[in-house]
Amino acid sequence: MHLVDKVIEFTKEQIPFACIHVYEKGSFDIPLGMVTVVTQTEHFSIIENANLDLFFINAAREILEDNHSCELRIANNNTRETKAFVEVFPQAQKLVILGAGHIALPLHQLAKLMGFDVCVIDDRPDYANSERFPEANNVIAEDFCEALSTLPTNKHTYYVLITRGHTFDSTCLKILLNKAHAYIGMVGSLRRLEGVFKLLEQQGYTREQLSSIHAPIGLPIGGDRPQDIALSIIAEITSVQNRGGQWSQSLKTQFRHLKKSLVSKKILQWDS
């Protein structure tokens, strides 16, 4: 099968793959401009090359697992580097919205705009249905625990907890902390969230586990309309995608310090 045909096949079947573009061959006998297509189980190239198989394929698969395109450099016996660009074509990342209330409506629309595969879960059929969420890939009207226990997940899955009560959020959180994930965000004021975290800590969850949760959810862009909150959530998720969780958390920490400073100087009077 021609290389282009494989790319079309992977794209149609939503199989993540990467293309290795060699642009400086270094000490390896690799033709410049040669493109190799790599999945986690297969690889296809116009020219078979043992060195490429040994060095580049495994490295490209690690890059594919990380889900970000980047440059790849490999030196053979400390001689001139071979340089390639590994272009990743990931499958759509999944956003799971737990809670089908007023924030979930604009959130699922923005998430689709950003290319997410969106799943909405709520135990109320009047709220969790395809008529209410026409752009969602999957809408589940089930008990949160039952739905999460069977939902496929991986380290590129993003979870947003915006249920109608912190009891539901806490229940979901206990399940999610034991699942692979890229992001967990939970809505709530600092005071209420501290109470939830204290309870979970008493139940055996570590500070390290709890510190990874993005709460209060979203970047501080201002505004309290559902669409404002949805935008702040998508902004935070995008920052996690592009820069990682620590970057996103640091933005909110800097904002809190700035807010405290401005309020103490009576420049701003914001609610906590």
Predicted TM-score (pTM) above 0.85: no
What backbone phi and psi angles, to 5 degrees, belong to 103? -75, -35
Angle separating helix axes 190-202 and 166-176, nearest 10 degrees: 50
Kindly state whether residue 1 falls inside one of the protein's structural domains: no
For residue 152 the two structure tokens come to 């496929």
By the 8 A CB rule, do 21 and 52 touch? no
pLDDT (0 to 100) of residue 139: 97
57 and 162: one domain? no
d(CA 7, CA 80): 31
Quick check: 238 pLDDT over 50?
yes
What backbone phi and psi angles, to 5 degrees, belong to 75? -110, 140
84 and 111: one domain? no
Q: How many domains in the chain?
A: 2
Going by C-alpha positions, the residue among 160, 169, 157 that lies closest to residue 94 is 157
Domain with 61 in it: 13-89
Report the pLDDT averaged over residues 60-77. 82
- Considering 58, 89, 120, which residue would you say is the last residue of a domain? 89
Quick check: 106 pLDDT over 90?
yes
Percent of the chain with pLDDT strictly greater than 90: 35
- Among 61-65, 112-116, 187-191, 192-196, the range with the most confident prediction by mean pLDDT is 112-116
Burial class (CB in 10 A: 0-12, 13-18, 19+), 188: middle
Summarize pLDDT for 10-37 with one digit per residue, the tens.
888 878 899 888 887 665 666 666 688 8
Chain mean pLDDT for the chain? 83
